A and B are shown apart, each in its own frame.
Chain A
Amino acid sequence: MELNTYQQEAFDYQRKNIETYGKRAWGWTIFYVLCILVGLYALYLQIAKGHGVTGMRDNVVWGLFIVNFIFFIGLSYAGAIIAGILHLSKVTWGKPIIRLAQFMTLISVIVGPIFILLCVGRFDRMHHLFIYPRIQSPLTWDVMAVVTFFAGSVLFLYLALIKDFSVYRDAKLDVPKWKQKLYKILALGYRGAASQKRHLLISQNLMAIIMIPLSIVVASILSWIFGMTLRPGWHSTIFGPYFVLGAVYSGCGLLIVAMWFYRKMYKLDYYFTDRHFKYLGYIMLVLAAGYGYFTFSEYFTAWFGSEKWDSELIHKLFNPAEYGWWTFFANFAGIVLPIAIVAIPATRKPGPITLVAFIMVIAMWVKRYLIIVPTLETTLLPMQDTRAEYVKYAATWPEWALTIAGIATFLLFFTVMSKFVTVVPVSGLEDTHTQHEQHQLQHEYH
């Protein structure tokens, strides 16, 4: 297809990234694979010896695996919402980061559900979910939601890639035969004809329109796995929106981190500009405020109402001898810090924003841990007449190994995908730089 000069420039600039799989990429790939292998060994232990190798027990029946599931699935929903909005909106600055958001969507919706498989006692029976489905169960809703969402995110990403595939196909890239062939197949014979353009655009718009509400629905369903039970801290009417906001918020943070990372590694300063960090920083600030508001509402009503189990849970969360410091970290690093750093003009720079976004993503993981574990440790009947090791949850090394393996899988997918397609979409890119920026950046990097 025809590219305008700006798009051609973007392609030429990134061409080498998809033509080569450099030493650094191989190094990381091997490292990730090693992490995954350790995780697989832990998985083998878990299968051979039973779930007794994990820290989960009769009271705390869910642990790190579910925390990771919520975390990754949240990133996924966030990516879809952000990419959907950026695709539909008229603002052009967002176009270069759509692909990163879509990467995040697809990769996390692959990695997240793996943790569900790790958490169930009998994953040899997972087909029961389809042959004996029971529609009343929020878990069945979630299965439907995740499957639908997975299909949606594959389509959404693929539709956005078709034009690029045709560019790669036509460019006679210096890549192996199979890769050329794959580009050709994936481009679906796209030539940039007017009717093709129109159909593609309509499909993309439709997918964007579908993905935004779908993300909200599926994030709410995820929250209802907890919200529908009668447990303190979970049985809350705001859990749906709380999870939606938490998902978008953490996803926004990770998008900033990914942007910074690729900007450094592929020298994409021309496409991921300071302005992108600033704008995403603003979005992060607004979401942080919203998330803080929800968190405050949750804790404040539970504390003020002071029902027996709510008080017990609040006491656990705020007692320094129990989860107090974690709660402080989750709320300070997860809410206060991002707001402060973005609000102060002096720190409103890519470096500090990325750092604070990175810490915030970790804090949001901790926050998910604080949603899951302390509630399960707060039983309605006193936790007596039970084995001492059943009272508290402490994750074991197989759980950590599998968590790290999950993160490694996530990063491995990112590495492989960014070597297969350009990180900044080539087609559909518009030059949005101000003249001043253009001058400065072109001078530096071209």
Chain B
Amino acid sequence: MKQEEINDKGRRDFIKTAAIATVAATACGSLACSCSSKKATTGDKVKLLSPNGEIVEIDSAYLKHEEHMAIVSKLEAREGIAGKKFVMVVDLASCKNARSCVSACQKWHYRPKETEWLTVKLLQDSEKAAPYWFPKQCFHCDNPPCVKVCPVDATFKRQDGLVLIDNERCIGCKFCMAACPYSTRVFNWDEPDQPFDIRSLTSNPETGIPAKVGTVEKCDFCPDRAREGLLPPCVEACPNGVFYFGDENEDTVSNGLETVSFSQLIKDRAAYRYQEELGTKPRVYYLPPKDRSFPVEKGYQDADSAIKERFKDYKDLLEAKE
């Protein structure tokens, strides 16, 4: 399926589900002023399913797009999407630390500035080896050390391969953070700074919002978008098509520009998984940084000063080549 088609279908599904969600939320009163503002009616009636199972007709003027409404129950969010096995491939040869992925992720999840779920590291495998940029999400390991240690089942592994967090069950013991060898997880040390309408949403492991103080969170591969056939924002935002996201069962991954065979891609490009020797079985594959599209120092030169500050200890590595 071409990306455009995926997007189109996703949009249609999205409108449908969002509409139902809005009605549901209004009925529950959990969403402030979804329909309360007075609008000119269009006379265009839309049939909707109410929370008590009745079909109701509502003027389309009262329908509003609600991003981030969880479209599945918490129970379903623990099960996962049947038949799927999500996987990501990251092309290290194309990454230049443009950081569009980071900001797209932050924006989508209403993350307060500087608490990133997605980080970009500068790795150098050995002293003589060339350094390269290494974007890192959650690896959604098949043998996840974090899930093993959670004492309350707040973080869990789903049938579609995702590792998610129920931040209403999390007790904030941070054991998962200590256990994750990849330092993927972040903690809400203070009351997270989020817009009011986001804070008032019902939390769901699939959306990851609203963030709750004293709980752990991390990259979730955006299953709410996957249900709608959309790619995660980091994938869509990347100007260089670094991230390929898809379904291992379908054997397709897409970076928004092209859709390719997953098995072929990892075979042709000699993909590897980071720190395979830890036995965590990550669901993220990396394509080695061979035949780079950009010189590594470009990612440093083009970055703003706050980001430069974060890599100041590696200046020598990055500036020597200027």
Contacts and interface: CB of A to CB of B under 8 A. Distances in A.
B314 A61 contact: no
Contact of A129 (B148, B149, B171, B188): B171
Interface string A48-90: 0111101011110110000000000000000000000000000
Name, among A54, A62, A125, A225, the residue most crowded by chain B CB atoms within 10 Å (CB to CB).
Answer: A125
Given A50-B213, A229-B149, 18 more contacts: A49-B190, A50-B188, A52-B190, A59-B183, A61-B174, A61-B177, A120-B174, A121-B174, A121-B214, A122-B171, A136-B148, A139-B151, A229-B181, A230-B278, A380-B278, A384-B310, A385-B310, A385-B311
Contacts of A321: none
Name, among A58, A119, A140, the residue most crowded by chain B CB atoms within 10 Å (CB to CB).
Answer: A58
A134 interface: yes
A118 to B, nearest CB: 11
Given A121-B188, A132-B169, A385 B213 contact: no
Main secondary structure of the interface of A (DSSP, over half): loop
Nearest to A384: B121
Interface in B154-181: 154, 169-175, 177-179, 181
Interface string A336-366: 0000000000000000000000000000000
Interface residues of B, number: 49
B178 A129 contact: no
B153 interface: yes
A51 B148 CA distance: 25
A54 B187 CA distance: 13
A15 interface: no
A376 interface: yes
Interface string B84-123: 0000000000000000000000000000001010011111
A52 B186 CA distance: 13
Nearest 10 interchain pairs by C-beta: A121-B172, A121-B214, A50-B190, A139-B151, A52-B190, A61-B174, A52-B189, A137-B151, A385-B119, A122-B214
A63 to B, nearest CB: 10
B234 interface: no
B155 to A, nearest CB: 10
A382 interface: yes
B311 A58 contact: no
A380 B174 contact: no
Given A122-B214, A133-B151, A384-B314, A139 B175 contact: yes
A289 interface: no
A388 B150 contact: no
Given A381-B121, A383-B183, A128 B213 contact: no
B225 to A, nearest CB: 24
B182 A381 contact: yes
A143 interface: yes
24 contacts: A52-B189, A52-B190, A54-B189, A56-B174, A56-B189, A58-B187, A116-B173, A119-B174, A120-B174, A121-B187, A122-B170, A122-B214, A132-B152, A132-B169, A133-B151, A133-B152, A134-B152, A226-B178, A228-B179, A229-B179, A229-B181, A230-B278, A382-B123, A386-B310
B322 interface: no
A439 interface: no
A323 B114 CA distance: 29
Nearest to B118: A385
Given A128-B171, A134-B150, A229-B178, A51 B190 contact: yes
B254 interface: no
A290 interface: no
B171 A58 contact: no
Contacts of A418: none
Interface in A222-271: 225-226, 228-231
A290 B171 CA distance: 37
B41 interface: no
A129 to B, nearest CB: 6
Interface string B256-285: 000000000000000000010010100000
B190 A61 contact: no
A387 B172 CA distance: 21
A208 B227 CA distance: 59
A385 B152 contact: no
B140 interface: no
Interface string B122-133: 110000000000
Interface in B53-69: none
A273 interface: no
A229 B313 CA distance: 28
Contact of B215 (A122, A140, A230, A381): A122
B197 interface: no
Contacts of A175: none
Nearest to B153: A134
B171 A385 contact: no
B145 interface: yes
A138 interface: yes
Nearest to B179: A229
Nearest to A131: B152
A151 B16 CA distance: 57
B191 interface: yes
B151 A129 contact: yes
Contact of A138 (B149, B216, B307, B310): B149
A234 to B, nearest CB: 8
A306 to B, nearest CB: 15
A383 B182 CA distance: 10
Interface string A105-116: 000000000001
Contacts of A376: 178
Interface in B174-225: 174-175, 177-179, 181-183, 185-191, 213-216
A128 B167 CA distance: 12
